[in-house]
Structure 1
């Protein structure tokens, strides 16, 4: 293992995590910080510059300067055997019970999430690192409420999603700078587990979130090369799947794969974040509008075009195209409602597999068998990389086409209700919130916030003719808080963080400028 300068990383109030924050691990984080943090900050500034152009009326385009990458013949490096069959992936936060249950769920892959479904309290993050360390070594167990949890002999393959480039870690600093959340999550996981995974003939398998430009993929590739060299392990020990959850990334799929071609295994369609990004980037365009979020589905033209383009480009470059999330939770004591929900999931998964996707996501172990059945019946091979979809010619116009639909009072109420409920859960340290029979993460709150902001900014009229205004929103917020109190119970409502969540969420939808991410502001209120 390579050594570097003496660590200058300072740790705040976390002596109990000494098994994770060892001097050697902090030295590695210090090396990552000094080599890559300034470039990360520069990439974020490039996002701001790009956003200014979009706010002036420019739209995403296929970059002229990388046309040769899109049009030439090349393939990514081979995919490890363990990642060739990913027909069902389960996702969730890194708490101990979830890690055990997800690995035992029967899914092919478990994506352990330090990002959207994890409230980034330092306790959650450090315990999550310990949980994954124990899981890899097959020593993870749990005694809870009289039940014992331990791993089965046959478990899902583990993938890990670190936080996005925009998030920082305030509990770890170097030279008075916060460390990058991305580098902390990746660095600690890689440091503690790469050699153990090698002993098991496995690699460090990752998901990369929120990438907006191929330059950001290049940054990650450089991080990977540095980390592999630091431990003297082969190039390709790390294999990453990139979430395509920003509208700008859709226009640079080949370029993103190219930058990571020695380290990439696939792309994934992150639906809610993609719609959120679509609003964020194009919000100031004349006539731009998005209807109720329930009306924006994968059959909406711009969403269908995005999904199909992911399949086409992935298979052209010999990597996998993973479909989107089914957030449904089995509904107990209501067989009819449960059947309707499961039929929706089934139809969604059938559309994905028949379009050519190689796998899909679910949020609850109860959906694994349903999704597995759909893919087993329609995909007899390990994947569908042989389905090239060469007949498709997805245009810039198709990727940007406005979705049709209406804006309703029910849509406003749902965004306010779920937005406040989720944010309150996040502030309490729970990033995967079971709300109204769906497992919600930060993306739900982001799209709810963005839609409410957009509708107010554009002064839209509802399908009833009523004008959206601050007064209207204030009225709905008060009424929805009454419903929220009834939903969670009086004691829970008054002992929770609902006052703060309401204040934060309201401020964001009334702001003159749309906040980039609600988690950036809310992070100030957690430890």
Structure 2
């Protein structure tokens, strides 16, 4: 989220904005961009690849992406690393149980030697990753791919994760877009308008799914492969050599990492994959520090990935979700106010970002700032003016704090971000030389949630309900990045909305404006009212929202039950 959250429009119905897909009606099972009909998994074996089965897809180019050689590569990754991945997911549950029991987190005593050793540094960045002052994010359908690459940003985060619904056609279609874009062979036509790649393109950094998600459409020996291995493996297998031949390389953002052991797994996957293709340490990865547990292991995460590491990113939205999720039952001191009131100037968020900058630069890694999610309005100049000032202030704060670059969600924000970093960097590509010895962050600073300004209000409950409903409807229909009320919403922002509702109910939070407690009855009344405003077609979204926000047991990720509706 932005440092000072843009004022939300009073219009509740999402609309189409230039360059981005807003909510549109989608027939069940029909992908709105690629076409073709989604089918329930009906797998067939792959000739020449023993034990591998896939689901048919109508996506043009799927025969290249899902070749026997590529599927054999995925099968090798699964057989080599699948068991370790399952063990690490089990460790997540053990750690969460410990947090619930103690209400505490701290830096790890057993890894203190890594933090205390002043001598190690991450690998040098390739030439085309030295300057990352503006990065644009977005999904990988053809139109979005072309718009992002042509946006003027230095880097495009090609998002196969939170901005993507993992419909099988989306998964394969995104890989087709990346394959063609790598070879400068991607074009797209819509409503008589032709989209083509320009000359000066952003560097591609691909974000695979997190470790927790399976890909049900590819099984190896009867087991689904991790979505992370599918997304990473297909992109790396098909594009690594082509990227190197073009003077770039296979670069990745790693999401949802919760520990240095998970980073170690990624590093081993990278080394194994490189050796399989006869390459040597060509991968570079930037890890999103978007979980509260990872915030206590930043140095260790860089250390585990050091021959492949490029930097860390302040993944703001998921970070807030992780704080709520991990400390949801730890007491009222961990209850956050309305989502729109939680800014990057809150003490616990300042501690997190300043520690990230200091950690990265101490180890020669890039510190990347968070998302500016504002989507400019073509109809409301007043909204634009206020929001752009807030985005400008947010990016100036990051640049002055020592970040090397930051994220935006829309091409119109690229100049705003660039200007803020130009003013600090000048002709330098980054500010790795700014070490921030003034930063001294303790565990208590990272957990200082209680001093976040703001209240919980009925408007905050209502906003969470409305945004979550609209996003979930879109996600089920195949769209993972959705413009709602002039903000780009993705799975991370929906997670905040539903997890706040769950926590407020289970903590008996009192609304500051009405004096009422947040209860399931209150939320269901607001659900009725918001569905009435939004119109028809929200039955599945409402059922899913109630499952992840009102159930007695907290669902770890809303995408887990949601996946059953699209796979």
Bucket of the pairwise TM-score, normalised by the shorter protein: over 0.9
Q: TM-score, normalised by structure 2?
A: 0.89
1:24 aligned to which of 66, 69, 78: 69
- Aligned-partner Cα distance in 2 for 1:511–1:469: 12
Show CA shifts across 1:30-83 (max 9, x none).
Answer: 000000111111100000000111111242210000001001111111111111
RMSD across aligned positions (CA): 1.1
- Aligned-partner Cα distance in 1 for 2:174–2:497: 28
- Aligned-partner Cα distance in 2 for 1:289–1:334: 34
Instruction: Please show how residues 308-387 of structure 1 align to structure 2 within 5 Å.
Output: 308-380=354-426, 381-387=428-434
SS in structure 2 at match of 1:61:
coil
Kept after mapping to 1: 8 A contact 2:51/2:222: no
SS in structure 2 at match of 1:65:
coil
Kept after mapping to 1: 8 A contact 2:329/2:506: no
- Residue 332 of structure 1 deviates from its aligned partner by 1.0
Instruction: Please show how residues 170-209 of structure 1 align to structure 2 within 5 Å.
Output: 170-209=216-255
Kept after mapping to 2: 8 A contact 1:171/1:178: yes
- Aligned-partner Cα distance in 2 for 1:275–1:514: 16
- Residue 14 of structure 1 deviates from its aligned partner by 2.7
Aligned residues: 512
Partner in structure 2 of residue 12 of structure 1? 55
- Residue 401 of structure 1 deviates from its aligned partner by 0.3
Kept after mapping to 1: 8 A contact 2:263/2:305: yes
Partner in structure 2 of residue 502 of structure 1? 542
Partner in structure 2 of residue 395 of structure 1? 442
Instruction: Please show how residues 95-494 of structure 1 align to structure 2 within 5 Å.
Output: 95-235=141-281, 237-287=282-332, 288-380=334-426, 381-402=428-449, 403-464=452-513, 465-485=515-535, 494=536
SS in structure 1 at match of 2:64:
coil
Q: TM-score, normalised by structure 1?
A: 0.96
Partner in structure 2 of residue 512 of structure 1? 552
Partner in structure 1 of residue 34 of structure 2? none
Partner in structure 1 of residue 109 of structure 2? 64
SS in structure 2 at match of 1:265:
strand
* Stretch of structure 1 that moved more, 240-249 or 464-473: 464-473
- Residue 6 of structure 1 deviates from its aligned partner by 4.4
Kept after mapping to 1: 8 A contact 2:155/2:205: yes
Show CA shifts across 1:131-180 (max 9, x none).
Answer: 00100101111111101111111110011000000001011111211110
- Aligned-partner Cα distance in 2 for 1:203–1:81: 10
5+ residue gaps in structure 2?
1-47
Kept after mapping to 2: 8 A contact 1:212/1:248: yes
- Aligned-partner Cα distance in 1 for 2:377–2:103: 45
5+ residue gaps in structure 1?
486-493
Kindly report structure 1 stretches of 4+ aligned residues shifted beyond 3 Å.
none
- Residue 15 of structure 1 deviates from its aligned partner by 6.5
**Higher RCO (CA < 8 A, seq sep 6+):** 2
Partner in structure 1 of residue 31 of structure 2? none
SS in structure 2 at match of 1:62:
coil
- Aligned-partner Cα distance in 2 for 1:25–1:351: 44
- Aligned-partner Cα distance in 2 for 1:286–1:324: 28
- Aligned-partner Cα distance in 2 for 1:77–1:448: 38
